[in-house]
Every structure is written in structure tokens, then in C-alpha cells.
Structure 1
Amino acid sequence: MSHRYSPEEIATVYRVIQERRDMRHFLPDPVDPDVLARLLQAAHFAPSVGFMQPWRFIRITDRALRGQIHALVEAERQQTAEQLGERSDDFMRLKVEGILECGELLVAALMDGRERHVFGRRTLPEMDLASVACAIQNLWLAARAEGLGMGWVSLFDPQQLGALLGLPPGAKAVAVLCLGHVPAFYPKPMLELENWAHRQALETLVAENTWPADI
């Protein structure tokens, strides 16, 4: 008995992975509520260390609150530029978010009380964050399959955003997610198109029995 999917289904999985993009340009069209529910369910099906399910998603529907989040991101964008030295001007020319344009805005956060979960985290406590990242990736891939774009924004002060959203002590905002319809998907990652960085060759990142040697 084979547990393998059909060739067509397998090809679709790889296609979604390869065509996923970190989107910055959005249309204002609303996201169908049923589609949004499916995407969040996909996120909730993500693996988590010790089955702790540390993800929390906050849907931002208040336009004024959107504006406040955008202001936090803009403040961090300016501070990031100051740290980039000679690349500062190049960075400031990049479009780094679509907070005011996207159809849906979500904030992904780590739950509070994570110290209770020791299974799989005793020596690697950051595995709670890895679990949330898996949930975000599930959401990202499902969105691409539904024809929607998503952008992960990490330019913000977590404490300031947490205070803005009323997060309890111990919880932590880790991502602002812009989600919605897009005019087109980038043919390559936007930062590659803008010559900010390029994808590294896989063979330089994979090794056997020891740390990869530079090739």
C-alpha cells in the first residue's frame, strides 16, 4: 500500500512552495470570510513542539488601530535604516509592508505562560517561536493556493505592539501579517528583484556529518 499522493497532487504542493512570495503590494478588496477561516484553520494544523500550540492570532479590523500599527512599523523602519550604514538609502527605497492597503491584517503572537511547557523546550526554549513560524508558513502556503498574497512584517517593537493590542504579560507579538488580493505575484522574491540579496546555492548549505564547507 502506497501512502504517496498522485503525481499531480505532489506537483501542486511543490508549486505552491516555489511560488509563495513575501508580498508588499495589495489590492483593497476584502477577503472572503470563509477563505479566511480556512487559512486560519490551516495555520492551526501546524506542528508544535510538545503540542503546545503557542500561536495566537489577532485580527485587526479597526482602521485607526491599523494606522497605529503602521506608525510603529514606520518608526522601526527609520531606526533600521540608521543601522544599515551604506545600504541605508537602498533600504529606504524598498517597500517593506502593505499594512494600509491589504484586505486583512493579522498579528501573530506567542501565548503567555509558555514556561509551563518543558517538553521539547528544556534545552531549546526558542522552539515555541519555531512552532509559531510553522503556523505562519501554513497560513502563507494556504493563502498562495487560494490566490491570495501574504507579507510577513517584523519591523516593530514587540513591547510597543503588545501594549497597543493588550497582550498579557509573557505574551509576545512576533509578526504583522498583511493578507489579501494582489495585482500579481512577483516572479521572484521581491528582495531578489531589487538586488538586495540572492538565493544561495543549496549545495553550499547542505553537508554530511559535519558543518558545510564553503564551496
Structure 2
Amino acid sequence: MVTAVEGAGSANHSSQAFAPGDARAVYRAIFEQRDMRHFAGGQVADETLRRLLQAAHHAPSVGFMQPWRFVRVTNVALRHQLHDLVEQERVLTARALGEREDEFMRLKVQGLLDAAEVLAVSLADGREKHLFGRRTLPQMDLASAACAIQNLWLAARAEGLGMGWVSLFDPAAVARLLQLPEGAEPIALLCLWPVQAFYAEPMLAQARWAQRQPLQALVFDNAWGQASSLFPEGPTP
């Protein structure tokens, strides 16, 4: 990871490439991005939040459909209602995990009541009219909205703000709470706040819930399972 950051921009293959320092900053934001669950208090300035949302809004989208919609949740009672929905789903998820139930229940999975800002991200209604790039892959609306969330996440890291993506909820129940129009679909509750420090590695890796898979095992040449020549040493066990 460190090598990749330090090497960014060292091989300038195009006059359009960023200056080495700028390129390293991009890679640093990518590699140091964390799904945060622990916050340090404080607020997010309105101008900062506007910058983050502007970054999200400049994400690429299939057919330039821009399917993302953001609901800023500032009402305390509404946050408590969302928290209750997440807690209900947390218990149901734990039960579904079987032997890992207790381990899962020990994880901190949301910060809706603690966060300085909560943003609910939804797919817009009327998405069916967008056929460009979606006729055979209708899920490209979700992929496009995920790009917007990633942009916001990287911008938050650059601003020194932690962000957590909460997805433990019943979409229909959240849609009713937020009074979404028919056809709109909530996909994320994002928690934002300053943090004392970013995790050295992803929280779930620290908790030994899962570990990052070796890249060599996920990249193929020409056909699924065909080892890539990018990694002549082969997959790492």
C-alpha cells in the first residue's frame, strides 16, 4: 500500500497526468479511506458539506442519468426513528449469521445518533426512462450512485472527516420515513463527523471479521480463473 502511494506519479505516461505530489494525494485518499464508526465530536461546516456534495455530484453516471438524491437528516426525532430501524435490522442480521451472531453484535455498525451530519442517499424515481447503458444492465443506476458515494467518501477523507456507510435497514420503511416518492429507493445512510484518528486498517479487518483478499486472486487474463500475467508470482495464499 505504502509503495503504491510513494510511487504515484513516478512514471508520467501522459502530459495529462497530475503532478507527482497531486497524484500521491489522490492515491493517499484512496488507500487511507475508512468506513468509520467512532467519532470525536464537533461539527461539519456548511461550506465543507457543500464541497463534499459537489464532489459527489461530479461522479460519473451511466447515460449521465445522475440518479443520486440526498436527504440531509437534521431532525433529532427522525434520526432516532432511523436508528430504531437500523437496530431492528441489526438484530435480524445477527440472527441470520448463526454462529457468528455474538461476534456481529459486538461490532459497532452505525453512528446515526452521534454523527454531526447524516445523509440519506436514494436512487431517484423515474429511473426506468433512462435506457442508455441500462437496457440489459438496469443495475447501473445503483452503480452510478455508488460512484457518487465514493466521491463523497474520498473528499471527506481529504477534508479530515470520517464517514460511515450504514446499510442495515428495510428500504421500504426508510422510504416512508423520508417521504420518498414512489419509485425512489434508499441505498445508504451516511454518517459524517470529525474523528480523532483514522483506523490503521479497515475496522472489520481489525476486528478479524474479514481480511482483504490478495489482488492476484481477483485479476484474470481473458477468462475467469486464468491467472494474470500482471502477477507472474501467482496468487498469494
**What TM-score comes out, normalization by structure 1 length?**
0.98
SS in structure 2 at match of 1:74: helix
Match in the other structure for 1:25: 38
Per-residue CA shift, 1:51-93, capped at 9, x if unaligned? 0000000000001100000000000000000100100000000
**What TM-score comes out, normalization by structure 2 length?**
0.89
Partner of residue 145 from structure 2, selected from 132, 144, 152: 132
Partner of residue 126 from structure 2, selected from 108, 113, 136: 113
In structure 2, distance between residues paired with 1:211 and 1:99? 40
In structure 1, what residue type is equivalent to 2:169?
A: F
In structure 2, what residue type is equivalent to 1:17?
A: I
Per-residue CA shift, 1:92-151, capped at 9, x if unaligned? 000001111111000000000000000000000000000000000000000000000000
In structure 2, distance between residues paired with 1:37 and 1:17? 21
Match in the other structure for 1:44: 57
Q: Runs of at least 4 residues of structure 1 off by over 6 A?
A: none
In structure 1, distance between residues paired with 2:152 and 2:161? 10
Q: RMSD of the alignment, in Å? A: 1.0
In structure 1, what residue type is equivalent to 2:21?
A: E
Per-residue CA shift, 1:191-210, capped at 9, x if unaligned? 00000000000000001000
Match in the other structure for 1:66: 79
Structure 1 stretches of 5 or more lacking a match? none
Number of residue pairs the alignment of both structures matches:
215
What is the correspondence of 1:40-189 to structure 2 with a 5 Å cutoff?
A: 40-189=53-202
Relative contact order, higher structure (CA 8 A, sep 6+): 1
In structure 2, distance between residues paired with 1:98 and 1:184? 16
In structure 2, distance between residues paired with 1:153 and 1:5? 33
